[in-house]
């Protein structure tokens, strides 16, 4: 039997153009809690629609489509059951992607990206072109979307924190500061992996207020402190390790250097800087990290970086890159020490 011929470029490109439809369909079922409804077992779309007050036919058409990608399994008579991927869309999954997925439908997310042509014309972020302000200023002024954003980032940490812990030994440190650590999920995983380690969660004051009342860091209350502030001005002093996950990629070279320099100025001698971010691969190679770079361009105004760009950035802030450690996730740990 001869193998099927490769599809022509016209067909391949056409399929790529419409991938956003799938993304938004997944986001919709996540936001509406459809996966949660199936936790007790298979149900018909009529049963799901009745439970969630949805239109049955519309629900069926969306679920039928994404079942073809392994998100839910369609049986007889419009009955659907959970799959390993749809289980990730439940609220209590660990890791979970429910809130990260539903964030795709938030106003800033899609409108900010829709301005890509304008960004390519004037170099300003999509957020500035559409909303007249940077992403983080927008989130400060829109608490509802900020809460969704923080939940989405916590979702990402639920999958990424185990990958970081599996790839790096934190037991040699005395005190670690998680810079812009959100609700503290990564810090909780680090403290759990190193019982003698003390940690400080540092973020904007309004984020820290949310984190104080969240249960994530409660088991480590005797070893964990909270600090609010602006990392472009200063960071907590005196730790021997400073970690930031998916933070430096939010910022341009000038402000990234300022953040890293603030860490350099206050860390203990011989301390370690740990930047958890995607590292872009070589040219002409399919690499999702390059599309994340476009997202950083459109929303916060930052960028994903290559190894060479990380080395240049670290040097500008007074660090040398000791090693770049791959993890089981899509990111790497860029480790540096001051010179």
> What is the tens place of the pLDDT at every residue in 160-173?
999 999 999 999 99
Reported as a pLDDT band with limits 50, 70 and 90, residue 68 is very high
Q: Which of 188, 179, 201, 198 shows the shortest CA–CA distance to 248?
A: 179
Q: Does the pLDDT value for residue 278 go beyond 80?
A: yes
Name the catalytic one among 175, 246, 249, 331.
249
User: Can you point out the beta strands (E) in 150-294?
Assistant: 175-179, 198-203, 224-228, 241-245, 272-277, 279-280
Residue 55: its pLDDT value, please? 98
Contact between 126 and 113 under an 8 Å Cβ cutoff? The reply is yes
Tell me whether residue 249 is one of the annotated catalytic residues: yes
pLDDT at 272 over 80: yes
Residue 3, pLDDT score? 80
Top CATH class of 9-91 equals mainly alpha
Residue 2: band (very low, low, confident or very high) from pLDDT cuts 50, 70, 90: confident
Selection from 133, 131, 187 nearest residue 164 by Cα: 187
CA distance 308 to 9: 33
Mean pLDDT of the chain: 95
Cβ-count burial of 158 within 10 angstroms (0-12 exposed, 13-18 middle, 19+ buried)? buried
Q: For 295-304, how does the pLDDT look when each residue is reduced to its tens digit (9 = 90+)?
A: 999 999 999 9
- What average pLDDT does the segment 3-23 reach? 91
* Phi then psi dihedrals of residue 140, to 5 deg: -65, -30
The pLDDT of residue 261: 98
Burial label for 182, CB within 10 Å (0-12, 13-18, 19+), is: buried
Task: Compute the average pLDDT of residues 282-296.
Answer: 94
Would you state the pLDDT for residue 5?
A: 87
Q: Does domain 142-338 bear CATH number 3.40.50.150?
A: yes
Q: Indicate the domain borders of the chain.
A: 9-91, 142-338
Give residue 4's pLDDT band: very low, low, confident or very high (50, 70, 90).
confident
Domains 9-91 and 142-338 share a fold: no
């Amino acid at each position: 039997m001869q193998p099927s011929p490769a599809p022509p470029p016209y067909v391949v490109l056409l399929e790529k153009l419409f991938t956003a439809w799938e993304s938004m369909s997944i986001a919709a079922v996540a936001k509406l809690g459809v996966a949660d409804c199936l936790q007790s077992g298979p149900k018909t779309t009529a049963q799901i629609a009745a439970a969630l007050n949805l239109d049955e036919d519309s629900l069926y058409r969306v679920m039928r489509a994404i079942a073809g990608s392994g998100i839910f399994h369609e049986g007889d008579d419009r009955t659907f059951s959970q799959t390993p991927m749809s289980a990730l869309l439940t609220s209590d999954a660990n890791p979970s992607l429910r809130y990260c997925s539903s964030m795709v439908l938030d106003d800033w997310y899609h409108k900010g990206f829709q301005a890509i042509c304008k960004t390519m014309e004037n170099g300003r972020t999509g957020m500035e072109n559409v909303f007249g302000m940077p992403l983080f200023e927008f989130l400060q002024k829109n608490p509802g979307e900020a809460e969704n954003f923080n939940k989405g980032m916590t979702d990402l940490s639920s999958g990424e924190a185990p990958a970081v812990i599996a790839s790096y030994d934190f037991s040699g440190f005395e005190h670690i500061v998680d810079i812009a650590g959100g609700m503290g999920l990564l810090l909780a995983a680090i403290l759990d992996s190193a019982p003698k380690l003390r940690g400080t969660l540092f973020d904007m004051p309004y984020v820290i207020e949310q984190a104080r009342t969240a249960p994530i860091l409660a088991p480590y209350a005797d070893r964990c402190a909270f600090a609010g502030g602006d990392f472009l001005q200063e960071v907590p002093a005196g730790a021997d390790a400073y970690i930031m996950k998916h933070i430096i990629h939010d910022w341009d070279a000038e402000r990234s250097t300022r953040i890293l320099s603030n860490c350099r100025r206050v860390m203990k001698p011989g301390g370690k800087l740990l930047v958890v971010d995607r590292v872009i691969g070589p040219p002409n190679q399919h690499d999702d990290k390059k599309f994340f770079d476009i997202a950083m361009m459109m929303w916060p105004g930052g960028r994903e970086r290559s190894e060479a760009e990380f080395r240049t950035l670290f040097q500008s802030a007074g660090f040398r890159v000791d090693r770049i450690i791959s993890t089981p996730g899509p990111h790497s740990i860029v480790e540096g020490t001051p010179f």
